Amino acid sequence: MWPEFEAAPRWIRDFVPLVALLALIFVLSSRPAPVERGREAADFTLYKIAHLVVYGVLTWLWWRALSPRREIGWPALLSAAALSVLYGVPDRLGPARRRVHLHCK
């Protein structure tokens, strides 16, 4: 990797990419879904695969932040996966909550 990046403090190397991805997910999840339910199966499948990839990268970034020595162990991996799932739950509930709120007006 880049020598300048390796010389950076740990919080910059590990937490800045994590926070950047969290912010990107937050911004993109506040927008309407580009694929509506009932549309072409290929578009819907691609949309779901993109979700898996993004949340997989999020889990990896959480693991990097939680495991400073980069040791692969169950506690760090399970914690990273749990934090990713916990971040994704409001993302899934958000559109349904907004839809219900809009129908009440």
Q: Looking at residue 7, what DSSP letter applies?
A: T
Give the tens place of pLDDT for each residue, 61-86: 999 888 877 777 788 889 999 999 99
Do 54 and 25 meet the contact criterion of CB atoms below 8 Å apart?
yes
Which pLDDT belongs to residue 101? Answer: 40
Give the tens place of pLDDT for each residue, 14-68: 889 999 999 998 888 777 766 565 667 777 788 788 889 999 999 999 998 888 7
Which pLDDT belongs to residue 55? Answer: 93
Cα angle 91, 95, 42 (rounded to 5 degrees) comes to 85
Alpha-helix runs per DSSP H in the chain? 3-6, 10-29, 41-66, 74-104
Containing structural domain, residue 66: 3-104
93 three-class SS: helix
The pLDDT of residue 105 is above 50 = no
Do 65 and 15 meet the contact criterion of CB atoms below 8 Å apart?
yes
Which pLDDT belongs to residue 66? Answer: 86
Q: How many structural domains are present in the chain?
A: 1
